[in-house]
Amino acid sequence: MKIRIPFAVALIALFLWSCDEPIAYDNDSFTYNPFSFTQDTLNNVTSITAGDADIEWSSHFRAWVGDTDYYKSGFIVEFNFPDTSLDIAGVDSILFKIQHVKTYPEDGSDTLEATHSIFGYYEKTMDQNINIENSTYGSFLGTDSMNIAGGNNFWNYTLPIGVIEEGDAIVSLGVFPATTDYFSSIYGGGSVSRPSLSFYYHLPDTAGDDSATFITYLADTLIMHFTEKAAAFDRVQFDYISQLKTDSIQMTLSLQDFDVEGDTLQHIINSSIFPGIDNLASALYKPDSLFRFSMMVEEPISGYSTTIEYDGDDYNTNEIKYLVQSAIDDKQTELDLILRSTNAGYNPGFIAISKDVTQSALYVSSSLAVKP
């Protein structure tokens, strides 16, 4: 079979044309070049800086009491009695009630080595100052053993006689750790289940038998006392994001690798941020605070944000392509990303992120595109 020369020339020209200008496909506002697809892990983090601030605990949903290698905390609650008709003299007993949420061991494991722990109960008078670091908590009332293995259970402490007397209009009571190694959360000042006082009376009923009745007051104010243990964290090598504080870490990334000219754009197909997390220096609580550690990633110029989730071994979700694409479209040469916990104050887990910028990276899948 012979192929005529003009037909062969036309066939070769068609082949060369198809290689020179590949068929493009479009998706909404872009036309993509499928032959420019790239996947890169870019160590283009230029700086890592940390910031932190205290949480406003008084109106927060949870409060904390405990003493671990990392943190120490307790709380004071104030009760106001709005009228003077409360019969203190006739009270049989007064119970200080706390609704316990969950207790965590200090090492981040998923099991508790004990079923009970000891907590101290205190009264704070107007002339007393609380110093959590020095274990100065007020007037000591006593201790009690509380069930820390049971989740969402009530802790009850019977106040000694004379703590609240006839005519008292206000009382401040405190709960502070008396043992170490555990961190317990209770429903705090922002919860309808916040601490309460129950005044119990025994009254004779119509048959002449005693019957119990009680009056309950919810706490009016809850004040947290919370401190990070001195030298507990290796701040020479790491910055930290804690779920007990409003810590944040800002990572600055170079966008020079995405510098294209003319009508050509860098189209981000997907992108992930990989902070240099050190699991040995972190405390990741498996059953609750970390089955996943959820972090918000925010780009401050655009105000865009997204959430990524780290599970101690890998990421459940990690997609920041819109933050990267927005910065590239705005012709930015650098990209600032702010990472912070999405549930600060709810669980005691924290992650350690290396200050060595080469340990962190940006993963990107992208292609070149032009506006049609």
Q: Does residue 172 lie within any of the structural domains?
A: yes
Is 371 buried (19+), middle (13-18) or exposed (0-12) by CB count in 10 A? exposed
Q: How many CB atoms lie within 10 A of CB 353?
A: 23
Q: How many domains does the chain have?
A: 2
Q: Are residues 72 and 115 in the same domain?
A: yes
- The answer on 212 and 75 residing in a single domain is yes
Query: Ramachandran region of residue 33, left (φ > 0), alpha (ψ -120 to 50) or beta?
Result: beta
In the numeric block, which tokens belong to residue 143? 């201790």
Specify the pLDDT at position 175.
97
Does residue 293 share a domain with residue 208? no
Contact present, 36 and 264 (Cβ < 8 Å)? no
Identify the CA nearest to 363 among candidates 47, 48, 39, 36.
39
> Are 272 and 130 in a shared domain?
no
Instruction: Report the pLDDT value the prediction gives residue 26, as an integer from 0 to 100.
Output: 43
Q: Which residues contact 319 (CB under 8 A, 6 or more apart)?
A: 270, 271, 272, 306, 308
pLDDT band, very low/low/confident/very high, at 211 (cuts 50, 70, 90): low
Domain of 192 in residue numbering reads as 62-228
Whose tokens are 């003009």? That residue is 6
User: How far is residue 212's CA from residue 77's CA, in Å, rounded to a whole number?
Assistant: 26
pLDDT in tens, 6-54: 444 444 444 444 444 443 444 455 566 655 778 888 888 999 999 988 8
Alpha-carbon distance of 58 to 191, in angstroms, equals 10
Last-in-domain residue among 178, 197, 228? 228
| 128-184: pLDDT as tens digits | 899 999 999 999 999 999 999 988 999 999 999 999 988 888 999 999 999 999 999
- Segment 262-301, tens digit of pLDDT: 777 888 999 999 999 999 999 888 655 445 789 999 999 8
Q: Are 260 and 192 part of one and the same domain?
A: no
Determine the distance from the C-alpha atom of residue 159 to the mean position of all C-alpha atoms in its chain, rounded to a whole number.
34
Q: Is residue 15 part of a domain?
A: no
Does the structure show a pLDDT above 80 at 345? yes
Q: What is the C-alpha to C-alpha distance for residues 186 and 99, in angstroms, rounded to an integer?
A: 6
The verdict on 224 and 271 lying in the same domain is: no
DSSP code for 127: T
